[in-house]
Structure 1
Amino acid sequence: MPDNESDLLMQVARTLRRRWAAAYAPMGLTPHQARALRVVGEHGGLRLSAIAEALRISPRSATEVVDALEHAELVTRAPDPTDRRATLVAVTPHGERTLRTLTEARAADADDFFGRLTDDERAALRKILGKLVS
């Protein structure tokens, strides 16, 4: 078992990623695709470059992820009305329903995972993590 904070935090992150991957699998989504769908859903129409930046991946990788989401009819591409050379990616109605299901599954899994902690422990963890990311 890891004996320092950074190793423990990484182990928790890996555990959560595995759990989320299992939750997304019945929807036919990989974690990268689910994350991209969440980003597009949160921001409306986005250019591929903005998706790549938000996901911290290369534009080529963002294109591949969006291609898969478009193939699954979760997003569409449309011309950017402000720049004819650019394309915007937006969530479809099917994508919105999938996004709601994904969000519910993720929340239920988080409740299960963090359910071992008391309310006070959860509040302390949120406070500590918030301090670390600020």
Structure 2
Amino acid sequence: MSVAEWVALNQIGRGTTLSPAGLADVMGMTRGAISKVLDKLQSKEWISCATSQEDNRVQLLAVTRQGKRVLPELTTIADGNDEHFFGVLDATERATLQKLLKKLADAHQMHKIPVD
């Protein structure tokens, strides 16, 4: 699973109503790039896409039962990866790093990349 797939699945799994275009905006990706990510998640049967009842031109994304089953395990893996990588930093160092990265993101107007 790629980082982009993980972030997309996690964003969709938050329960907010998202279209592919909305997800692309949230993730700071092009619509073409997000389409490839969504195709991979659909081929794994972790997400589904349904037509909006309000506007039949809009497709809405949802996590499937299979996706809901794997999401906690994938979250544990992601949290473990974060701890493995950042675990060498104490709380003060982590806070400093986060502050510096936020400063760089602000300076380069990188506001649409989900980091949670």
TM-score by length of 1: 0.66
Higher helix proportion: 1
Q: Between Structure 1 and Structure 2, whose CA radius of gyration is higher?
A: 1
Specify the alignment match of 1:95 in structure 2: 67
Q: Alignment RMSD, CA only?
A: 2.0
Structure 1: state its 5+ residue gaps.
1-28
Structure 1 position 64 matched with structure 2 position 61:
no
Cα displacement string for residues 6-56 of structure 1 (whole angstroms, at most 9, x for unaligned residues): xxxxxxxxxxxxxxxxxxxxxxx1222112112211243311110111222
Aligned-residue offset at 1:77: 0.9
Distance 1:49 1:33 in 2: 15
CA distance in 1, matches of 2:28, 2:91: 33
Instruction: Determine the C-alpha separation between the residues in 1 that align with 2:93 and 2:5.
Output: 32
Q: Percent identity?
A: 31
SS at match of 2:7: helix
How far is 1:83 from its partner? 0.7
Higher RCO (CA < 8 A, seq sep 6+): 2
Q: Give the drift of 1:131.
A: 5.2
TM-score by length of 2: 0.75
In structure 1, the residue matched to 2:95 is 123
- Distance across 1 between alignment mates of 2:32 and 2:46: 19
Partner of 1:80: 52
User: Is the Cα contact below 8 Å between 1:44 and 1:91 reproduced in 2?
Assistant: no
Distance 2:22 2:3 in 1: 18
The structure with more strand, counted as a fraction of residues = 1
Q: 1:14 corresponds to which residue?
A: none
State the Cα distance separating 1:76 from its structure 2 match: 0.6
Deviation (angstroms), 1:99: 2.1
- Read off the aligned partner of 2:17 and give its amino acid letter: G
SS of aligned partner of 1:85: coil
Shift of 1:125: 3.0
